[in-house]
Structure 1
Protein backbone atom coordinates (compact mmCIF):
# COMPACT_ATOMS: atom_id res chain seq x y z
CA UNK A 1 0.00 0.00 0.00
CA UNK A 2 1.05 3.56 -0.52
CA UNK A 3 1.96 5.72 2.49
CA UNK A 4 -1.28 7.71 2.28
CA UNK A 5 -3.90 4.95 2.27
CA UNK A 6 -5.30 3.16 5.32
CA UNK A 7 -7.06 -0.20 5.08
CA UNK A 8 -10.63 -0.76 6.19
CA UNK A 9 -11.60 -3.94 8.04
CA UNK A 10 -14.91 -5.75 7.56
CA UNK A 11 -15.25 -9.00 9.50
CA UNK A 12 -12.12 -11.10 8.92
CA UNK A 13 -10.96 -9.16 5.85
CA UNK A 14 -8.93 -6.00 5.29
CA UNK A 15 -9.39 -3.98 2.11
CA UNK A 16 -6.52 -1.78 1.01
CA UNK A 17 -5.69 0.38 -1.99
CA UNK A 18 -2.17 1.07 -3.24
CA UNK A 19 -0.94 2.46 -6.55
CA UNK A 20 -3.51 1.23 -9.08
CA UNK A 21 -4.41 -1.88 -7.08
CA UNK A 22 -7.16 -2.77 -4.66
CA UNK A 23 -6.80 -5.91 -2.55
CA UNK A 24 -8.61 -8.03 0.02
CA UNK A 25 -6.49 -9.74 2.68
CA UNK A 26 -7.66 -12.49 5.04
CA UNK A 27 -6.76 -11.28 8.54
CA UNK A 28 -6.60 -14.81 9.96
CA UNK A 29 -4.20 -16.30 7.40
CA UNK A 30 -2.59 -13.17 5.97
CA UNK A 31 -3.33 -14.49 2.47
CA UNK A 32 -4.45 -12.26 -0.36
CA UNK A 33 -8.03 -13.28 -1.17
CA UNK A 34 -8.19 -11.19 -4.33
CA UNK A 35 -6.64 -8.16 -5.93
CA UNK A 36 -7.66 -6.08 -8.89
CA UNK A 37 -6.24 -3.25 -10.95
CA UNK A 38 -8.25 -0.04 -10.95
CA UNK A 39 -8.59 2.03 -14.11
CA UNK A 40 -6.86 5.10 -12.71
CA UNK A 41 -5.15 7.78 -14.74
CA UNK A 42 -3.02 8.48 -11.71
CA UNK A 43 -3.41 6.80 -8.35
CA UNK A 44 -5.34 8.64 -5.69
CA UNK A 45 -4.32 8.03 -2.13
CA UNK A 46 -7.68 7.96 -0.42
CA UNK A 47 -8.70 5.23 1.98
CA UNK A 48 -11.66 2.92 1.49
CA UNK A 49 -14.55 3.03 3.97
CA UNK A 50 -17.16 0.41 4.80
CA UNK A 51 -20.84 0.50 5.59
CA UNK A 52 -22.36 -2.88 6.41
CA UNK A 53 -21.34 -5.37 3.74
CA UNK A 54 -20.23 -2.74 1.23
CA UNK A 55 -16.90 -0.98 0.76
CA UNK A 56 -16.59 2.43 -0.91
CA UNK A 57 -13.52 3.92 -2.55
CA UNK A 58 -13.30 7.27 -4.33
CA UNK A 59 -11.00 8.38 -7.11
CA UNK A 60 -12.20 9.89 -10.41
CA UNK A 61 -15.37 7.94 -9.62
CA UNK A 62 -17.16 6.45 -6.64
CA UNK A 63 -16.67 2.69 -6.48
CA UNK A 64 -18.81 0.42 -4.31
CA UNK A 65 -17.94 -3.26 -4.01
CA UNK A 66 -19.09 -6.22 -1.93
CA UNK A 67 -17.21 -6.97 1.28
CA UNK A 68 -16.52 -10.55 2.28
CA UNK A 69 -16.60 -11.94 -1.24
CA UNK A 70 -14.00 -14.43 -2.48
CA UNK A 71 -13.69 -12.42 -5.70
CA UNK A 72 -13.73 -8.69 -6.41
CA UNK A 73 -17.42 -7.93 -6.93
CA UNK A 74 -18.10 -4.34 -7.98
CA UNK A 75 -21.66 -3.27 -7.22
CA UNK A 76 -21.64 0.29 -8.50
CA UNK A 77 -19.36 2.81 -10.18
CA UNK A 78 -20.68 6.35 -10.30
CA UNK A 79 -19.72 9.88 -11.21
CA UNK A 80 -20.87 13.15 -9.68
CA UNK A 81 -22.55 15.61 -12.06
CA UNK A 82 -22.65 19.41 -11.87
CA UNK A 83 -25.85 19.34 -9.78
CA UNK A 84 -24.33 16.86 -7.30
CA UNK A 85 -26.23 13.88 -8.71
CA UNK A 86 -24.35 10.59 -8.20
CA UNK A 87 -25.11 8.24 -11.10
CA UNK A 88 -23.48 5.71 -13.39
CA UNK A 89 -21.60 7.10 -16.39
CA UNK A 90 -24.17 5.63 -18.79
CA UNK A 91 -26.82 7.92 -17.26
CA UNK A 92 -24.72 11.02 -17.94
CA UNK A 93 -23.77 9.82 -21.43
CA UNK A 94 -27.47 9.61 -22.27
CA UNK A 95 -28.32 12.95 -20.63
CA UNK A 96 -25.51 14.73 -22.48
CA UNK A 97 -26.21 12.89 -25.77
CA UNK A 98 -22.53 11.89 -25.96
CA UNK A 99 -23.01 8.80 -28.13
CA UNK A 100 -24.61 10.90 -30.86
CA UNK A 101 -22.07 13.71 -30.55
CA UNK A 102 -19.11 11.34 -30.82
CA UNK A 103 -20.14 10.24 -34.33
CA UNK A 104 -18.39 13.24 -35.92
CA UNK A 105 -15.01 14.91 -35.39
CA UNK A 106 -16.64 18.21 -34.42
CA UNK A 107 -19.06 16.38 -32.15
CA UNK A 108 -16.17 14.58 -30.44
CA UNK A 109 -14.70 17.96 -29.50
CA UNK A 110 -18.06 19.05 -28.10
CA UNK A 111 -18.42 15.76 -26.21
CA UNK A 112 -14.99 16.27 -24.63
CA UNK A 113 -15.93 19.81 -23.64
CA UNK A 114 -19.22 18.66 -22.09
CA UNK A 115 -17.48 15.83 -20.26
CA UNK A 116 -14.85 18.17 -18.80
CA UNK A 117 -17.50 20.73 -17.86
CA UNK A 118 -19.70 18.11 -16.20
CA UNK A 119 -17.10 16.07 -14.31
CA UNK A 120 -13.75 17.85 -13.87
CA UNK A 121 -14.89 20.08 -11.00
CA UNK A 122 -17.13 17.37 -9.57
CA UNK A 123 -14.65 14.58 -8.93
CA UNK A 124 -13.92 13.55 -5.37
CA UNK A 125 -10.93 15.50 -4.07
CA UNK A 126 -7.71 13.59 -4.77
CA UNK A 127 -6.65 13.17 -1.16
CA UNK A 128 -9.99 13.11 0.68
CA UNK A 129 -11.39 9.78 1.80
CA UNK A 130 -15.15 9.28 1.81
CA UNK A 131 -16.99 9.12 5.12
CA UNK A 132 -20.17 7.51 6.44
CA UNK A 133 -22.52 8.87 9.08
CA UNK A 134 -25.87 7.29 9.91
CA UNK A 135 -26.14 5.60 6.52
CA UNK A 136 -25.13 8.70 4.60
CA UNK A 137 -22.12 8.80 2.28
CA UNK A 138 -20.22 12.09 2.51
CA UNK A 139 -17.79 13.07 -0.25
CA UNK A 140 -15.43 16.03 -0.50
CA UNK A 141 -15.39 17.35 -4.05
CA UNK A 142 -13.00 19.95 -5.40
CA UNK A 143 -15.28 22.85 -4.46
CA UNK A 144 -17.92 21.49 -2.09
CA UNK A 145 -19.11 18.63 0.09
CA UNK A 146 -21.97 16.36 -1.00
CA UNK A 147 -24.01 13.89 1.02
CA UNK A 148 -26.00 10.89 -0.25
CA UNK A 149 -28.61 9.12 1.84
CA UNK A 150 -27.98 5.39 1.31
CA UNK A 151 -30.35 4.15 4.00
CA UNK A 152 -33.01 1.70 2.87
CA UNK A 153 -36.41 3.26 2.53
Structure 2
Protein backbone atom coordinates (compact mmCIF):
# COMPACT_ATOMS: atom_id res chain seq x y z
CA UNK A 1 0.00 0.00 0.00
CA UNK A 2 2.78 2.22 0.77
CA UNK A 3 4.08 1.70 -2.71
CA UNK A 4 0.81 2.66 -4.16
CA UNK A 5 0.73 5.83 -2.13
CA UNK A 6 4.25 6.63 -3.14
CA UNK A 7 3.39 6.03 -6.78
CA UNK A 8 0.40 8.27 -6.49
CA UNK A 9 2.48 10.92 -4.83
CA UNK A 10 5.11 10.67 -7.54
CA UNK A 11 2.46 10.91 -10.21
CA UNK A 12 1.04 13.94 -8.49
CA UNK A 13 4.45 15.55 -8.25
CA UNK A 14 4.92 14.94 -11.94
CA UNK A 15 1.62 16.69 -12.60
CA UNK A 16 2.48 19.75 -10.49
CA UNK A 17 4.21 21.67 -13.32
CA UNK A 18 1.19 21.15 -15.55
CA UNK A 19 -1.15 22.36 -12.81
CA UNK A 20 1.10 25.34 -12.21
CA UNK A 21 0.96 26.23 -15.91
CA UNK A 22 -2.81 25.76 -15.96
CA UNK A 23 -3.08 27.83 -12.80
CA UNK A 24 -0.93 30.61 -14.34
CA UNK A 25 -3.02 30.57 -17.51
CA UNK A 26 -6.16 30.61 -15.40
CA UNK A 27 -4.77 33.55 -13.41
CA UNK A 28 -3.90 35.40 -16.63
CA UNK A 29 -7.34 34.67 -18.06
CA UNK A 30 -8.94 35.68 -14.77
CA UNK A 31 -7.02 38.97 -14.78
CA UNK A 32 -8.09 39.57 -18.38
CA UNK A 33 -11.67 38.73 -17.49
CA UNK A 34 -11.55 40.98 -14.39
CA UNK A 35 -10.03 43.79 -16.46
CA UNK A 36 -12.67 43.31 -19.16
CA UNK A 37 -15.47 43.20 -16.58
CA UNK A 38 -14.11 46.32 -14.84
CA UNK A 39 -13.83 48.07 -18.19
CA UNK A 40 -17.41 47.15 -19.11
CA UNK A 41 -18.57 48.10 -15.61
CA UNK A 42 -16.89 51.51 -15.93
CA UNK A 43 -18.40 51.96 -19.38
CA UNK A 44 -21.85 51.04 -18.05
CA UNK A 45 -21.26 53.28 -15.03
CA UNK A 46 -20.35 56.22 -17.31
CA UNK A 47 -23.39 55.59 -19.50
CA UNK A 48 -25.55 55.35 -16.38
CA UNK A 49 -24.11 58.57 -14.97
CA UNK A 50 -24.60 60.42 -18.26
CA UNK A 51 -28.14 59.04 -18.50
CA UNK A 52 -28.79 60.08 -14.90
CA UNK A 53 -27.37 63.54 -15.62
CA UNK A 54 -29.60 63.81 -18.67
CA UNK A 55 -32.53 62.69 -16.52
CA UNK A 56 -31.69 65.30 -13.86
CA UNK A 57 -31.34 67.99 -16.52
CA UNK A 58 -34.65 66.96 -18.10
CA UNK A 59 -36.33 66.87 -14.68
CA UNK A 60 -35.07 70.37 -13.88
CA UNK A 61 -36.25 71.60 -17.28
CA UNK A 62 -39.66 70.05 -16.65
CA UNK A 63 -39.84 71.72 -13.24
CA UNK A 64 -38.99 75.06 -14.84
CA UNK A 65 -41.58 74.50 -17.55
CA UNK A 66 -44.18 73.57 -14.93
CA UNK A 67 -43.40 76.75 -12.99
CA UNK A 68 -43.63 78.78 -16.18
CA UNK A 69 -46.92 77.05 -17.03
CA UNK A 70 -48.32 77.89 -13.59
CA UNK A 71 -47.23 81.51 -13.99
CA UNK A 72 -48.77 81.61 -17.45
CA UNK A 73 -52.03 80.17 -16.08
CA UNK A 74 -52.04 82.80 -13.33
CA UNK A 75 -51.23 85.51 -15.88
CA UNK A 76 -53.94 84.19 -18.18
CA UNK A 77 -56.42 84.30 -15.29
CA UNK A 78 -55.47 87.91 -14.59
CA UNK A 79 -55.75 88.77 -18.27
CA UNK A 80 -59.16 87.11 -18.41
CA UNK A 81 -60.31 89.13 -15.40
CA UNK A 82 -58.93 92.33 -16.93
CA UNK A 83 -60.64 91.46 -20.21
CA UNK A 84 -63.96 90.97 -18.41
CA UNK A 85 -63.54 94.28 -16.56
CA UNK A 86 -62.69 96.10 -19.80
CA UNK A 87 -65.63 94.41 -21.54
CA UNK A 88 -68.00 95.57 -18.78
CA UNK A 89 -66.59 99.11 -18.93
CA UNK A 90 -66.95 99.13 -22.73
CA UNK A 91 -70.56 97.99 -22.43
CA UNK A 92 -71.22 100.77 -19.89
CA UNK A 93 -69.59 103.31 -22.21
CA UNK A 94 -71.63 102.02 -25.17
CA UNK A 95 -74.81 102.31 -23.10
CA UNK A 96 -73.88 105.87 -22.14
CA UNK A 97 -73.14 106.64 -25.78
CA UNK A 98 -76.51 105.23 -26.84
CA UNK A 99 -78.18 107.30 -24.12
CA UNK A 100 -76.31 110.38 -25.35
CA UNK A 101 -77.40 109.68 -28.93
CA UNK A 102 -80.99 109.35 -27.72
CA UNK A 103 -80.61 112.52 -25.65
CA UNK A 104 -79.14 114.33 -28.66
CA UNK A 105 -82.13 113.34 -30.78
CA UNK A 106 -84.48 114.43 -27.99
CA UNK A 107 -82.66 117.76 -27.64
CA UNK A 108 -82.72 118.27 -31.42
CA UNK A 109 -86.47 117.72 -31.44
CA UNK A 110 -86.84 120.09 -28.50
CA UNK A 111 -84.61 122.65 -30.27
CA UNK A 112 -86.76 122.43 -33.41
CA UNK A 113 -89.86 122.99 -31.27
CA UNK A 114 -88.19 125.92 -29.54
CA UNK A 115 -87.24 127.41 -32.92
CA UNK A 116 -90.84 127.05 -34.10
CA UNK A 117 -92.07 128.59 -30.85
CA UNK A 118 -89.49 131.37 -31.25
CA UNK A 119 -90.78 132.09 -34.76
CA UNK A 120 -94.32 132.10 -33.41
CA UNK A 121 -93.28 134.40 -30.57
CA UNK A 122 -91.58 136.79 -33.06
CA UNK A 123 -94.71 136.66 -35.16
CA UNK A 124 -96.86 137.45 -32.10
CA UNK A 125 -94.39 140.15 -31.03
CA UNK A 126 -94.53 141.75 -34.49
CA UNK A 127 -98.30 141.49 -34.37
CA UNK A 128 -98.37 143.09 -30.96
CA UNK A 129 -95.98 145.84 -32.10
CA UNK A 130 -98.19 146.55 -35.10
CA UNK A 131 -101.23 146.48 -32.86
CA UNK A 132 -99.55 148.88 -30.41
CA UNK A 133 -98.45 151.13 -33.27
CA UNK A 134 -101.97 151.01 -34.67
CA UNK A 135 -103.44 151.79 -31.25
CA UNK A 136 -101.00 154.68 -30.84
CA UNK A 137 -102.02 156.02 -34.25
CA UNK A 138 -105.66 155.62 -33.32
CA UNK A 139 -105.00 157.37 -30.04
CA UNK A 140 -103.22 160.23 -31.83
CA UNK A 141 -106.07 160.54 -34.30
CA UNK A 142 -108.56 160.53 -31.46
CA UNK A 143 -106.47 163.13 -29.67
CA UNK A 144 -106.29 165.21 -32.83
CA UNK A 145 -110.01 164.81 -33.39
CA UNK A 146 -110.71 165.87 -29.84
CA UNK A 147 -108.64 169.02 -30.24
Give the TM-score, by structure 1 length: 0.15
Structure possessing the higher relative contact order (Cα contacts under 8 Å, 6 or more residues apart): 1
Larger radius of gyration: 2
| Structure (1 or 2) with the greater helix fraction | 2
**Relative to total residues, which structure has the larger strand share, 1 or 2?**
1
